[in-house]
């Protein structure tokens, strides 16, 4: 079973990866990815401000949060398959 710290890191990396697949780093004026994993419950919140970008920041933030959840699901699946 992955540690809580590993779960948080995987989720945050996945969320940031989605954001920066849509935007150049210079286009993002503010990005806050908050991930908590306590008692088996994952919470992901993504705040994104990219005022001059073509993609909709709210839609990208939602996609990033979902990607974070998917990444954690994959992490647990990989761990259970390895056991």
Per residue in 7-62, pLDDT (tens digit) is 999 999 999 999 999 999 999 999 999 999 999 999 999 999 998 888 899 999 99
For CA atoms 73, 27, 21, 62, the dihedral sign is positive
**CATH classification code of 4-82:** 3.30.300.100
Residue boundaries of the structural domains of the chain: 4-82
Ranges assigned E (strand) in the chain: 30-38, 41-49
């Amino acid at each position: 079973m992955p540690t809580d710290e590993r779960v948080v890191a995987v989720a945050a990396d996945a969320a940031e990866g989605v954001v920066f697949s849509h935007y150049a780093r210079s286009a993002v004026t503010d990005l806050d990815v908050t991930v908590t994993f306590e008692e088996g419950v994952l919470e992901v919140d993504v705040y994104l401000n990219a005022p001059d970008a073509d993609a909709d920041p709210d839609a990208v933030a939602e996609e990033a949060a979902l990607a974070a959840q998917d990444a954690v699901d994959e992490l647990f699946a990989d761990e259970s398959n390895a056991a």
